[in-house]
Amino acid sequence: MRICCPLCGARDRREYSYRGAALPLPDLAADVEVWHAHVHLRQNPAGPLEELWQHEMGCGAWLKVTRNTATHEILAVTLAEEACA
């Protein structure tokens, strides 16, 4: 598996680490139920999913990767700092 880091180019999967779905973050002081839902209640869709990966063994950038979980096709990769700003 290869992911194309916007900074480094296509790199082997072993340089990356995976966090999970890239979901909108609740406010830091949001209600406990909101945070509970954010952290624990996750969909597991078969199909395109926006995910967070870090190019941990590479440039260190966090990436927002749109990946089809059924085929592993990578549909888009952006820097998380730009996507989440």
List of residues contacting another protein (CB under 8 A): 1-2, 7-12, 14-15, 17, 19, 25, 28-32, 35-36, 39-40, 52, 54-62, 72-74, 79-82, 84-85
- Give whichever of 45 and 70 is closer to another protein, judged by the CB atom: 70
3-state secondary structure of 84: coil
Please report how close the Cβ of residue 77 comes to another protein at its closest, in angstroms: 12
For residues 40 and 37, what is the distance between their CA atoms, to the nearest angstrom? 5
Tokens of 39: 């952290």
Please report how close the Cβ of residue 44 comes to another protein at its closest, in angstroms: 18
Return phi, psi of residue 79, to 5°. -70, 135
